[in-house]
Amino acid sequence: MTLLTVRRDGEIAVVTLDNPPVNAISEAVRKGLYDLAERLDEDPEVRAVVLVCAGRTFLAGADVREFGQPPVEPHLPDVVDRIEAAEKPWVAAIHGAALGGGFEIAMGCRFRVAVESARVGLPEVTLGVIPGASGTVRTPRLAGVEAAVELVTSGKPLAAAKALDAGLIDAVVSGDLETAAVEFARASLAAEMPLPVSKRPLQPMPDDFWQAARKAAARAGHKAPLRALDSIRFATETSFAAAMAHERETFLDLRASDEAAALRHVFFAERAAPKPAALKGIDPRPVKLVGVIGGGTMGAGIAGACREAGMEIILIERDAEAVARGLDNVAKIFDGAVKRGKLTEKGRAERMAGVRGSTDYADLAQADLVIEAVFEEIGVKRAVFAELGRVCRPDAVLATNTSYLDPRAIAEGLPNPERFIGLHFFSPAHIMKLLEIVPTPETAPEVLATGFALARALNKMPVQAGICEGFIGNRILKRYRAEAEVLVTQGVAISEIDAAMRGYGFRMGPFEAQDLGGLDIAFLQREGARAEGQHVPETLGDILVRAGRKGQKTGGGWYDYAEGDRAALPSPQVAELLAARIVDARELPRPEIAAHLVAAMAAEGAAILEEGIAQRPEDIDLVEVHGYGFPRWKGGPMFASRG
C-alpha cells in the first residue's frame, strides 16, 4: 500500500492519501504531505493540487494513538503552514469527515469542496485537548469568531450544507468528488485567488459575547472547552504567529492531562465495544419486524428506538385500553422529536404508520425479534415467554429487558432456548445509549451477534454482561448507594455527599438521584428478596420509604421539597428518622468523599471482572459513562482508580 500517490490531470496534480482505516494523520502522513508540498512546488507543470482520500473518509484527524508519546517532527501546524504557503493552490476534496487535524489541513488548503454527505468539524475538546494545528486561529479567520466558537467549543461536526452556510467550505459538489474537485481547481486558476486563511482579517468581539460563550463552555464540566475559548479569544487579540504559539502550548499542556487520557480511554473503549473479537465472522440474524411486549415507558422507548432505526413494530399489551396507552406513549416520543425540530410532521406520521398495537400474541408469528418489557416479576415474565414460545418462529430472537431477574429463570421451559437473550435497555430507552447484552449459557453465538447488531442499528453502546443480580451497572449502583449510606451513618451530611459527587462531575449526587427516580423500586426489590427468605439488612432508604418518603413524587425522600419546586432542602424529619443509625457528625472534604465512593465502585467492578460478569475493565467504564452519568472526562471508575 502506498500512503500518498500523485497522478496528473493536465496541469492539476491529484494527491491521494490512503492510510486506512480513517486516514489518521500519523507521523508518516505528516512527513509525506510536507515533502509532497515541497516537491509539487518545484514541478513547473503543476498549477494546482487536489488532495483527496481513499477509503471511507477524508483525514479523520491526528492519530490519537500517538498522543501518549512525545511529539515528533514535522509537527502538524508546520504541515498546515507548508500547504498554505505552497505556490500552487491546494484544494481539499472532502468525503466522509474532515475532523480535527484533518480539517486543519483543509484550512491550510486554498479551497475546500465536499460531497453532500460529508461532515467537517473540530472535535478535539471531546478528547480533552484543543485543536493544535491552527483550529482556534484559522477557523475564526475563515468563518468568523462566532462560528468558530461554536464549532470548537462544542466539538460537534457540521454537515456539508451547514458548513457551506457557515463559510467553512467553498462548495458542495455532486457526482464524482475527484472529478468535481479537479474541475473546481481548474476553474479557480482563471479567477482571482482568495487570501490564504492565515492572512484574512479577524473581527474582534465585545466582552459580553465572551462572557456568554464562557458560561456555555463551562457547562461541559471539564477544562478543554474553556481553554479552547481562551485560545480563540487570544487569537482575536494578537498576531497569527503569537496565537499559534499559544495554541500549541495549550494543546501540548492538555494532551498530557489526566482528563485527556481519560477521554482517549473512553474513545478507544467505545470503538472496541461494538465489535467483540469473539463474534468475528458470525452473522447476526436479520431484524426487520420487532415485537415489543409492554407499552409502558420502557416498552414504548424500545419501540420508538427500533422504529427510528427503520424496523416495523408490533406492540403487545393486555387489553385495548393498554394498547391505546402504549401507542400514545410511542407517539409522544415522536411528538417530542417534532417539537425539537428533529422530525417533520410527515416523518412522524410515517414513523407511527410502522407501529401497530395488538392484544393478540399470534400477531408475532412473523416477528424476527421480540423484546419483553413487562412488570419486573418472574411469574409475569415467564407467562410472556410461554406465549412467545408458542407463537413465534423457532428462529425468532426472544429477549427480556429484565434489570435484576435471572434470565435463565425467565427462559425456563422455553423451546429453542438458544434464541433467548437479555437485552437490558436504560430508561428512556430511545435516548439512553447503553445496552447491556446478557447471554445465557445456551444463547447461540448468532443470537448474541444479533444483540450487538441491534445496538449498532439503534446507535447504542453495547456491553456484554454475565448473569448476576443487577448485571454490571445496577450491581455497581447498589454498591455505590450502599457505600454512600455508610458515609451517612458515619455522620457525613447527605447534602455534602451529593455536592461531592456533583463536584466530581456527576449531574446529581446519589441521594438527589434517588429522590428523582423514587426510592420505592429498590425498596420493593429488597422486600421481595426478604419475602423469599434472603437476608437483606435494613437500609436507610428502607426507613425513609416505610415513613412514606419515596422521593420527589411524595414531596420528600432524602430531602424535603416545597410544593411544585425541585430544590432539595435538608429534612429535619429525615434527620430524626435516621438519628439512631448515625454515629456522630463527621466532616470529610468533598474530594475525599468522591474518591471513597469511586473506589467503592471500582472495587465492585474488580469483583465483577473476577467473576467474569464483565469481560474488560473498559466495558465497566462504558456502562458507567453511558448508563449512570459517570463523568466521561474521568474515564469511568476502573480508569479513575487505576494504580
* Residues 240-269, interacting with ligand 3H9 (CB under 6 A): 268
Characterise 122 by phi-psi region: left (phi > 0), alpha (psi -120 to 50), beta (else). beta
Q: Is 436 a catalytic residue?
A: yes
Query: Toward ligand 3H9, which CB reaches closer, 100 or 556?
Result: 100
Q: Of the listed 19, 188, 198, 474, which one is catalytic?
A: 474
Out of 101, 225, 451, 470, name the contact with ligand 3H9 by CB under 6 A.
101
Q: Is 128 in the site for ligand 3H9 (CB under 6 A)?
A: no
424 is annotated as an active-site residue: yes
Of 57 and 250, which has the nearer Cβ to ligand 3H9? 57
- Please provide the distance, in angstroms rounded to a whole number, between the alpha carbons at the two ends of the chain: 40
In the complex with ligand 3H9, the residue whose CB is nearer, 224 or 608, is 224
Closest C-alpha to 531, from 335, 426, 377, 326: 377
541 binds ligand 3H9 (CB under 6 A): no
Position 132 contacts ligand 3H9 (CB under 6 A): yes
Q: The C-alpha cell of 248 is what?
A: 500549541
Does residue 22 bind ligand 3H9 (CB under 6 A)?
Answer: yes
The whole-angstrom separation of Cα 289 and Cα 313 is 6
- Does 136 bind ligand 3H9 (CB under 6 A)? Our answer is no
Q: Is 413 in the site for ligand 3H9 (CB under 6 A)?
A: no
Grid cell digits, residue 373: 418489557
Kindly tell me which residue out of 51, 53, 62, 148 binds ligand 3H9, with binding defined by CB under 6 A. Answer: 62
C-beta of residue 361 within 8 angstroms of C-beta of residue 390:
yes
DSSP 155: -
Partner residues linked to 214 by β-bridges = none
Among the residue ranges 100-108, 371-379, 391-399, 613-621, the one whose residues contact ligand 3H9 (CB under 6 A): 100-108
Q: Are 641 and 267 in contact (CB under 8 A)?
A: no
CB of 34 to ligand 3H9, least distance (A): 14
Which DSSP string do the residues of 467-511 spell out, in sequence order? SSTTTTHHHHHHHHHHHHHHHHHTT--HHHHHHHHHHHT-SS-HH
Residue count (the chain): 643
CA distance 463 to 467: 13
Is 133 an interacting residue with respect to ligand 3H9 (CB under 6 A)? Answer: yes
Which range touches ligand 3H9 (CB under 6 A), out of 92-100, 224-232, 306-314, 494-502?
Answer: 92-100
Judged by CB under 6 A, how many residues of this single chain contact ligand 3H9?
A: 27
Under rule CB under 6 A, residue 63 binds ligand 3H9: yes
> Closest CB to ligand 3H9 among 73 and 258?
73
Residue tagged active-site, from 84, 247, 259, 436: 436
Among 125-133, 452-460, 487-495, 553-561, the segment contacting ligand 3H9 (CB under 6 A): 125-133
295 binds ligand 3H9, rule: CB under 6 A: no
Q: Which three cell numbers stand for residue 536?
A: 437483606
Going from the C-alpha of 408 to that of each of 399, 415, 450, the distances in angstroms are 12, 13, 19
Determine the Cα–Cα distance for residues 91 and 48; give it in Å rounded to an integer: 8
Annotated catalytic residue: which of 403, 483, 485, 618? 403
CB of 437 to ligand 3H9, least distance (A): 18
The reply to whether 124 sits near ligand 3H9 by the rule CB under 6 A is yes
User: Among 13, 37, 49, 76, which residue interacts with ligand 3H9 (rule: CB under 6 A)?
Assistant: 76
| Cβ proximity of 136 and 228 under 8 Å | yes
Instruction: Walk across the sheet containing 434-439 and list its strands.
Output: 355-358, 312-316, 289-293, 369-372, 397-400, 420-425, 434-439, 461-464
Per CB under 6 A, the list member of 36, 51, 80, 97 interacting with ligand 3H9 is: 97
Residue 108 or 132 having the CB closest to ligand 3H9: 132
Closest to 378 (Cα-Cα) out of 531, 514, 480: 531
**Element (DSSP H or E) covering residue 171:** strand 171-173
- Smallest distance from ligand 3H9 to CB 111, Å: 20
Coil, helix or strand at residue 162? helix
Stretch that binds ligand 3H9, among 98-106, 180-188, 323-331, 380-388 (CB under 6 A): 98-106
Residue given cell 474532515 in the structure block: 98
Q: Assess 60 for contact with ligand 3H9 (CB under 6 A).
A: yes
User: Which residues carry out catalysis?
Assistant: 403, 424, 436, 474
Binding region for ligand 3H9 (CB under 6 A)? 21-22, 24, 56-57, 60-65, 76, 97, 99-101, 104, 123-124, 127, 131-133, 135, 268, 271-272
